Amino acid sequence: MAGDNSKSDGCGSGGGAFNLTMLMDFYEFTMANGYFEQGFADRIAYFDMFFRRVPDDGGYAIMAGVEQLIEYLNALRFNDEDIAFLKGKAVFSEGFLDYLKHFRFACDVWAVPEGMPIFPNEPIIKVRGPIIQAQLIETMMLLTINHQCLIATKANRICRAAAGRPVSEFGSRRAQGGHGALMGARAAYIGGCASTACTMAERDFGIPATGTMAHSWVQTFDTELEAFEVYARLYPDRCVFLVDTYNVIRSGVPNAIKVMRERLVPNGRRPVAIRIDSGDITYLSKIARQMLDDAGFSDCKILVSNSLDEYIIRDIISQGARIDMFGVGEKLITSRSEPVFGGVYKLAGIEGKDGRVIPKLKVSENAEKITSPGNKQVVRLYANKTGKAIADVITLDGESVDEGAPYLIFDPENTWKRKLITDFNAKPLLTPIFRGGECVYESPPLGVIRGFCAEQVDRLWEEVLRFENPQKYFVDLSQALWDLKYGMLHELSGAQK
């Protein structure tokens, strides 16, 4: 993907320039101008991105979008057109506009690697740097990470429901715009999809693009048989026949079999699949499978589509449907059941002149909205015996978790719920991405990320992976962080009396 934020990314409107640098909430500018006027331009701040709830009431989410965040930050510049526009708003100082004109990103950034399962209330991205800069990147960070985490999470649920059968992402035509289609295809591949219908996704990301025919192809010809015959002549090595334009059992499958026998087999070819896009998929797949087997085409697969999601896929498989592959569109690319990933970006600390971090805390009447203060790390504990993830512990930066000694974890709210962990290994999750504005991280190939995602999801307990009422995965605070957080809460509550 192009790294210049001032040029079109191919997904903008009207074919003109699409300046991603200006894709930010207006209050980011007003706050940044205020910081500048208050002399805070060089004040170092710490921000955390985290989310509070897993979509679809699931047990986990999937991290995605880091590569696109890197591209955005690498290219973050304000051009003359941007400065002229902001000047026209007549609310910003000349000094601030000059600061933007000479803007160069200088923050440190840490992120959880793409493909890693993530959980509520733990930092998935941490930013340290001048408060103006850390503030200005909020909108695009949330937009990029929220969207791809949402689609990767939905895709992973759907692919697990398919129980090893390949799933193709079919959603481009119903995505929220071109960018949603392209980045959605990328995220879906991370989550486990085997292919996409989006040609641009193969060109830009190497995701296998697949496709067959639409009902319009079949309707264009005088007969369904003729439509299949022409297609077999043009694409003898990739024949997938759409068999539900008229009648699956009486017309579609018999015509497909006739073409297989008369056009493919005599030329040494075999069919790839038939596709069913409507009707009672379970019933039709059973009958179609029997017809194909009886005709000697047991190697011909059955692909189904038609408004599928993880629940429908799980149900039709449990009903004995004879399906080899799934094509999933709108309910995947839009995460239709819950189309928002609620990631937020909150201030966690300010660095004093002596270099020490002054922790900051947001208090709320809603306990789940109270943030955790300070400069933090997230450590995942894995059982040595099983390889399974036991818990995540949010620590203060610099704390160590001794793998050679028992480690006590406890519920941050119900502190009487405690567990002593032994025979484990600890992995810090927040990985350096930028240091002083320079990228220090090389994104793995997309296929590697996809494989890493599958491996890490497999390290979660089945109880966490359930679709309904999953076991809550432990995300705990270290004793030092808990003491800091609740000490600050007590101080603040006393100050308000």
Q: Which domains does the chain have, with CATH numbers?
A: 20-152+339-495 (3.20.140.10), 212-325 (3.20.20.70)
Residue 135 — φ and ψ, nearest 5°? -75, -40
Note the pLDDT of residue 174. 95
Note the pLDDT of residue 3. 39
Note the pLDDT of residue 367. 85
**In this predicted model, what pLDDT tens digit does every residue of 453-478 receive, in sequence order?**
999 999 999 999 999 999 999 999 99
Strands (E), 316-375: 325-328, 343-351, 357-359
Question: The pTM is what?
Answer: 0.95
Residue-wise burial string across 240-263, b where 16 or more C-beta atoms lie within 10 A, e elsewhere:
bbbbbbeebeebbbbbbbebbeeb
Q: Which of 3, 25, 21 is nearest to 344 (CA)?
A: 25
CA distance readout (Å), 486 to 193, 357, 415, 438, 483: 43, 17, 12, 36, 6
How far is it, in rounded angstroms, from Cα 297 to Cα 279?
Answer: 23
Note the pLDDT of residue 496. 54
What residues of the chain score a pLDDT lower than 50? Answer: 1-17, 497
Q: Are 396 and 484 a contacting pair, CB within 8 Å? A: yes
* DSSP structural state of residue 285: H
Degrees to nearest 5, angle at CA 243 with 240 and 246: 150
Note the pLDDT of residue 18. 58
> In this structure, what token pair is assigned to residue 64?
């995605």
Q: Are 47 and 371 a contacting pair, CB within 8 Å? A: no
Burial (CB < 10 A; 0-12, 13-18, 19+), residue 139, is: middle
> In this structure, what token pair is assigned to residue 423?
């025979």
Residue 441 — φ and ψ, nearest 5°? -130, 135
